[in-house]
Amino acid sequence: MRLISWNIQWALGTDGVMDPARIVDHARAMADFDVLCLQEVADNWPELKASPAADQFAAFAELLPGYQAMSGVALETRDGAGRPKRFGNMILTRLPVVQVMQHILPWPAVGTNNMPRGLIEAVVLGASGPVRLMTTHLEYSHSDIRQQQVEAIRGIHASACARASFPRADGPGTYARTAAAMSAILTGDFNMKPDDPTKHRLSEPFDQGWPSLVDGWMALNGILPHPLTSCIVDRSYGEPHCCDYILVTEDLAPRIRRIVCDEATRASDHQPLLIEMEL
């Protein structure tokens, strides 16, 4: 299974070109991917740099016709004509999808610039059984918000593990039971450097014994420094650093075969990550 995770900055490259097709083409050049997780997908936001007024959620779905497209909208407002203005994440996959869940993360009141954040979760069927795919984009502006969002993600994971361990009763129609999974992959832009205590909190054990979410790069490469994923060209938000990660549950860590970061592409202000696993 090949998965690519990428904060695409609404498909705006550091060269000033906004092109969703270039994102897909570059992802395909990296690998014949089974899953593509995107952050910062826009619909009807002409106020943003390069004016992404078109519906990029629809554009990516059209660009990948052999994939199921799932939109995780965290921010939705309306323009003067009443048309939705949406911003968030996407998962596109050619694996069979069993269930999709939308989670809005905590959004406490603080004085900095901030906005709603979310996590989209899809249960897919791999050759070895069901796996939960999750992608998110945590708050940039305030560490207290990120801490609450990390706790919420831990709660989402723990609840899913509990449902897998103690299956609910089956029923008709909307009560029909779907496949549940403890095994999970969590990707995204966490807006935290590798040594951030809140980032480490994501991987702490659970009292109930649920499988922890471990940093895939560290599981494969030990103490080898994380690759640079942000601010390589545009240093408005600091010096080049890593803030994009792929985490997997402990049971999946031994199945990782490769993790690659493309530090060369300029199709976004973040760099894409590719993970290959035996699933």
How much is the pLDDT for 234? 85
For the stretch 232-244, pLDDT in tens is 998 888 899 999 9
Write out the two tokens for 236: 């408005």
Domain 2-277: CATH architecture, name and number where available? 4-Layer Sandwich (3.60)
Q: Can you tell me the mean pLDDT for 147-161?
A: 98
Could you identify the residue written with the tokens 């826009």?
42
Work out the percent of the chain whose per-residue pLDDT is above 90.
95
For the stretch 155-184, pLDDT in tens is 999 999 999 999 999 999 999 999 999 999
Q: DSSP characters for 221-242? A: HTTSPPPP-B-SS--TT-SSB-
Whole-number Cα distances in Å, 193 to 28, 144, 216, 226, 229 = 28, 15, 15, 9, 10
How much is the pLDDT for 127? 87
How much is the pLDDT for 128? 86
How much is the pLDDT for 53? 85
Nearest in space to 250 (alpha carbons), one of 205, 193, 200 = 205
How much is the pLDDT for 258? 97
How much is the pLDDT for 189? 98
How much is the pLDDT for 279? 84
Whole-number Cα distances in Å, 188 to 111, 133, 166 = 25, 11, 29
For the stretch 196-232, pLDDT in tens is 999 999 999 999 999 999 999 999 999 999 999 999 9
**Could you give phi then psi for residue 42, rounded to 5 degrees?**
-120, 150
Q: Can you tell me the mean pLDDT for 99-127?
A: 95
| Average pLDDT of the chain to the nearest whole number | 96
> If pLDDT is split at 50, 70 and 90, which confidence band does 15 have?
very high
Q: Where would I find the H helices in the chain?
A: 20-30, 56-63, 143-165, 197-201, 216-221
